[in-house]
Structure 1
């Protein structure tokens, strides 16, 4: 057994970053060309969902921060969209983006003021999230390049230390993407859609919610359930009675009232139509069709 001391500080060298950059395969995300472990049904079910529901409250941003951001959401939403673009361009795993935004919101919730370079903060949160979610994390050089060298790798590593110290190293937050596979597994016997397609659409909608401050402060479980509910409605493979039963099951899983779930589902559909149209949603268009035109991937939404 190795008895050498192990440091938890962010002490990677430039050589370490270069080695990882050489091994990383663009577009392959966490696997870097390796195979993922298969889904294990033994780690799913109501027990796991209950645990996630219990833990998610711990990582909620403060009500004061939520109220301040929702008064002037433009800068926060712009930062979240930039974070999404960086994660997509660098081929990060799908879990990196929502965790990065959660870290940004939690840091700002404590600090209540943005650092000199907000993009350095966002990049530091992507770096932390990548280390938690990927076996071959993104490099500081790649993040600096994504920000057009608005900051240097040394600045990024110092900001990473500040984020970790501010959050007391409690960084493994619960996100909507943590709930989605468990909700899908719970609906397995009651739905007809392809799992991969439904998951992809739900991930897209949940990512859109992370970029929209109107959903800031909503429990991740509710965002996940509402995103999945919208995806089910958008695919259009179920009748009204089946959709009602699926919605009822989702409301039960996230421990929310059915009316609350439907309200957030309608909010997501309105936000989606706004993204697709590139402007404010026309009220007449909202009543034209109750079904959401859920896109097949992130590229169809104008983030």
Structure 2
């Protein structure tokens, strides 16, 4: 069978750097993200089971994990830089964990850092932003975040290399994929119910704890479902006003959802709290800063207070 060589066969979609965009603006002049409302029909046990079935497919290799555990500093620095870029550029909370997942899987396949590690991290952020955001981050913004250590052309080439190495299989399962389903299932199962503000606070703190786990080398290789369940368990223990018996029942429910033993969930919850306290203490010891005015309405003194975490 002969192929027609005159037809260009390419899956690559070229970007137009100077394309005109019409962003949606909020009432105060800021740029808004278009989001679909939460649909309960696409949640529940069926969706969780599907995510559990897929998560092992995107796990980094055991060899890569053992190498990182011996010398975790370089990966930690890249993760912190990636998180800073995502925060500065206002990326969706799903961009950062997906970016790190792409980077870990790429390094699992190559077992070597490219000449510009920050270009690799930026390419992973660019891919993750295209997958999760309606208005993805621009190449120029990523180059500026790296102090122009690489050009937009270098970034696009690195993007091609990452996509080719991963065979375009980029929609990995992350802890942030499980969190809304776990939170909805736990609140639906438990008696009563939290207010909308309490649910938002639980989700935000769970997201932050899960992001911390992504940065921590000790959690590398941990199933995303277990990280999500342990993060939500820590947030529930630190923020919920429910009694001890009900919190224990909710922990048991989370263990059932992520298909893990309750002892394992509690162990990882303690690991998260230990990592959190270490970051809080190191942040206070290095540079104590004043809290922003926008945080004054949040609860203080909880084991999962996010305001002083030094990533």
Equivalent residue in structure 2 for 1:273, among 273, 277, 291: 277
Distance 1:119 1:162 in 2: 14
Equivalent residue in structure 2 for 1:13, among 11, 16, 30: 16
Question: Match of 1:226?
Answer: 230
Deviation at 1:225, TM superposition (A): 0.1
User: Deviation digits for residues 172-204 of structure 1, max 9, x if unmatched?
Assistant: 000000000000110113165421110001001
Q: Which moved more, 1:5-14 or 1:32-41?
A: 5-14
Question: Match of 1:207?
Answer: 211
Larger Rg: 2
User: Deviation digits for residues 225-258 of structure 1, max 9, x if unmatched?
Assistant: 0000000011141222111100100000000011
Pairwise mapping of residues 65-80 of structure 1 onto structure 2 (< 5 A)?
65-80=64-79
Pairwise mapping of residues 1-303 of structure 1 onto structure 2 (< 5 A)?
8-16=11-19, 19-20=20-21, 23=23, 32-189=31-188, 190=190, 192-193=193-194, 194-278=198-282, 293-296=303-306, 299-303=307-311
Runs of 4+ in 1 over 2 A off after TM superposition: 5-8, 22-26
User: Deviation digits for residues 15-56 of structure 1, max 9, x if unmatched?
Assistant: 23xx35x84879x9xx94254211000000000000000000
TM-score (norm 2): 0.86
User: Deviation digits for residues 47-100 of structure 1, max 9, x if unmatched?
Assistant: 000000000010000011011101111110110010000000001111111100
Alpha carbons of 1:44 and 1:140: their partners in 2 closer, same or farther (altered >3 Å)? same
Distance 1:34 1:58 in 2: 30
Alpha carbons of 1:60 and 1:24: their partners in 2 closer, same or farther (altered >3 Å)? farther
Deviation at 1:10, TM superposition (A): 4.5
Deviation at 1:11, TM superposition (A): 1.8
Q: Retained in 1: the 8 A contact 2:284–2:308?
A: no
Q: Retained in 2: the 8 A contact 1:230–1:292?
A: no
Deviation at 1:13, TM superposition (A): 3.2
Q: Retained in 1: the 8 A contact 2:122–2:155?
A: yes
Deviation at 1:135, TM superposition (A): 1.1
Alpha carbons of 1:43 and 1:122: their partners in 2 closer, same or farther (altered >3 Å)? same
Distance 1:231 1:241 in 2: 16
Unaligned runs of 5+ residues in structure 1 are 282-290
Distance 1:204 1:255 in 2: 23
Question: Match of 2:3?
Answer: none
Deviation at 1:8, TM superposition (A): 2.8
Q: Retained in 1: the 8 A contact 2:126–2:138?
A: yes
Q: Which moved more, 1:75-84 or 1:233-242?
A: 233-242
TM-score (norm 1): 0.88
Deviation at 1:300, TM superposition (A): 2.6
Deviation at 1:268, TM superposition (A): 0.1
Distance 1:294 1:48 in 2: 28
Alpha carbons of 1:6 and 1:292: their partners in 2 closer, same or farther (altered >3 Å)? farther
- The alignment of Structure 1 onto Structure 2 pairs a total of residues equal to 283
RMSD value over aligned CA atoms?
2.5
Deviation at 1:137, TM superposition (A): 0.5
